[in-house]
A and B are shown apart, each in its own frame.
Chain A
């Protein structure tokens, strides 16, 4: 939670697995789909590589939101990795819910061909956070 004033452009950091979600984001590019430049993606081999600490750190170093994206449950290239991701990130979300910050963390399942879904998910998150930030400003 940056000490500086809330920016107009939310910064969102996404962790995307190499085999599904990162591929989908690549495809979104190839299809020239547009999404806000505030969304930036870090490639990880598997969504299970994402240590919840990364997400916490991203948020406390100034990101307005962070998401973890992996293959749909059952489709993991590493066979079962995303089931572990699901447990950990669900728990992390629950933790942030206790601090009334659950909107800042999202978990997405996006398969390699779901470029459109990828864009829809991140755009929706972006909008939600932007609206939240604006409300915060007013209040």
Chain B
């Protein structure tokens, strides 16, 4: 082995508190070290040239750069050793500045520490293997599960970009919940028109295959090459897709599970949607008295729905306005906890609703009792702390969003996770809100939690862009630092497979060992530390490498 060590002074930054001459001298005599040089600024042009030329001239097979933190200038140094004829993954960075010269003042002790850190780099890198950024072919097609507004948005974008799209919907008709809305807030447009426009565009595209009344029955493969079996009315069909967008939406909260509200027992107790779509058929008197209840099936820990459903306040406001518009002299009272009119234009809409004469009472409605004269709304006024009991001609329930019915089924097929409320769990709540732990599988729209239409469209399209970015080249780069199985040593205990977060490990039934789907592997190394015999290892971070680094730190200078 021919090792080259380049020590940077970083001007005074390292040199001031580390005796660079002593370090250099120490390593000049070190086994296998062919080059030990120091230089004021390795990142400067002459410094770069020094590394490149010495690497080339000496035919170094390891280069240790002892300078600043490893992320700084990493690409530049990698490029240099590559130009010098060395595989860039045989480069080792040692952070002498951030981890030694800047954190201690004693030159003697710092120099010892620097020697140990560099030695750790030498020992650790001796176990490195040349690596390459591999490419794997990916299928340039996507499967979108769920034909609601989110799924349609995703399909529209992907097909526009030339990807083959399989759109799978379990119902006979595309459009999801938006299709049922006659008046989509805030635009006031007809939901079915919006949907029809999207569906027609999709139907016109040759690269879109729509499967309605279809259920997915099996799912396998890994990133870039997923495979699903669909049960269509025309029989079974197998599709291959590079990635999947799950957009299976939500299930409206069923108010029957709150029997005290009397829904289903009396025609005068309806949901907001029923009100919007059938106000005329309700047979209300000329000046009706209408109660609107917010948060039915939301913010209710007793029924296991502690979350806010995000859209029902606006729906409730709209219900109030709808009644007021038709019956100018109606009496409309809204019972709320907080009015969450947060969407753009929502607050103005709330003010507007108040101006139109809808009364807002901060209260908890405990029960609704149908009587011959009307429906009796009983509860507590939480603003004044008194009991309330009022009679209305109609009670409108603004129901929340519950997790989609197929959540468990899809989650177990795709091996993705549900959150505590049984919506799908995102990879990161903020920066990866529509990703899952599995590469190439996204969750868009309300299936990961309540959202309004605009947010669902954003989600659908944003996840589609991400998927397109992963697949658009027809191949994907595989990180070189992935797990690797030694088939001779693997006992096939499947412990790594159980633990793997990215589900990148698959069991080979025939050989009784596991295999790594490199394209799906995140490179965390959890499998490696889970395997008792380290038969699965993480490239670039082998057990021997880490153990030797520790050894170097602890051994005598």
Contact = CB atoms under 8 A, between A and B. Distances in A.
Chains A and B touch each other in the complex, with CB atoms below 8 Å apart: yes
Interface of A: 11, 13, 15, 25-30, 32-37, 40-46, 48-54, 57-58, 61-63, 78-81, 84, 88
Interface in B527-557: 528-530, 534, 538, 541, 543, 546-547, 549-551, 553-555
A45 B120 CA distance: 17
Given A30-B98, A79-B501, A11 B553 contact: yes
B498 to A, nearest CB: 11
Contact of A57 (B110, B526, B547): B547
Contacts of A26: 69, 71, 95, 98-99
Considering residues B526, B534, B538, which has the most beta carbons from chain A within 10 angstroms of its beta carbon? B526
A49 B528 contact: yes
Contacts of A36: 104
A53 B106 CA distance: 33
Instruction: Determine the interface band of chain B, counting residues with CB < 8 A from chain A.
Output: 35 or more
A35 B103 contact: yes
Contacts of B440: none
A61 B550 contact: yes
Contact of B549 (A37, A42, A52, A62): A42
A79 to B, nearest CB: 5
Contact of A48 (B95, B105, B106, B524): B524
A57 B554 CA distance: 11
B538 A45 contact: yes
Given A79-B501, A84-B530, A54 B550 contact: yes
26 contacts: A11-B554, A13-B554, A29-B95, A29-B102, A34-B105, A36-B104, A37-B103, A37-B110, A42-B120, A42-B549, A42-B553, A43-B70, A44-B546, A45-B541, A46-B524, A46-B526, A48-B526, A49-B526, A49-B529, A50-B529, A58-B550, A78-B502, A78-B526, A79-B428, A81-B501, A84-B526
A102 to B, nearest CB: 20
Given A37-B112, A81-B524, A30 B102 contact: yes
Given A30-B102, A52-B529, 19 more contacts: A11-B553, A11-B554, A13-B550, A13-B553, A26-B99, A29-B97, A29-B102, A33-B103, A40-B553, A41-B99, A42-B120, A42-B549, A45-B523, A48-B529, A54-B547, A61-B551, A62-B554, A80-B437, A81-B501
B194 interface: no
Contacts of B554: 11, 13, 58, 61-63
Contacts of B547: 54, 57
Contacts of A45: 481, 523-525, 538, 541
A36 B99 CA distance: 11
Contacts of B534: 51
Given A44-B541, A49-B526, A37 B427 contact: no
Considering residues B69, B105, B109, which has the most beta carbons from chain A within 10 angstroms of its beta carbon? B69
A42 B550 contact: yes
Q: Which 4 A-B pairs have the closest CB atoms?
A: A29-B98, A49-B525, A78-B524, A51-B529
A42 B526 contact: no
A29 B99 contact: yes
Nearest to B69: A26
Contacts of A51: 528-529, 534, 543
Interface in B390-439: 427-428, 437
A126 B335 CA distance: 59
A33 B336 CA distance: 52
B318 interface: no
A6 to B, nearest CB: 14
B499 interface: yes
Given A26-B95, A29-B99, A79 B427 contact: yes
B503 to A, nearest CB: 11
Interface in B95-143: 95, 97-100, 102-106, 109-110, 112-113, 116-117, 120
A30 B549 CA distance: 24
Nearest to B124: A42
A97 B427 CA distance: 35
Considering residues B97, B481, B525, which has the most beta carbons from chain A within 10 angstroms of its beta carbon? B525
Nearest to A11: B554
B522 interface: yes
Contacts of B105: 34
A53 B546 CA distance: 11
B501 A80 contact: yes
A26 B547 CA distance: 22
B69 A54 contact: no
Contact of A25 (B98, B543, B553, B555): B98
Contacts of B522: 78-79
Contacts of A81: 501, 524, 526
A84 B527 CA distance: 10
Contact of A42 (B71, B106, B524, B546): B546
Contacts of B116: 40
A28 B103 contact: yes
Interface in B236-266: none
Given A45-B481, A45-B541, A46-B526, A37 B550 contact: no
Interface in B280-323: none
B429 to A, nearest CB: 9
A48 B525 contact: yes
A75 B97 CA distance: 27
Contact of B541 (A49, A78, A80): A49
Contacts of A42: 120, 546, 549-550, 553
B99 A25 contact: yes
B254 to A, nearest CB: 32
A37 B109 contact: yes
A88 B531 CA distance: 13
A130 B439 CA distance: 46
A49 B524 contact: yes
Contacts of A30: 98, 102
A37 to B, nearest CB: 4
A48 B541 CA distance: 12
Nearest to B435: A79
Contacts of A13: 550, 553-554
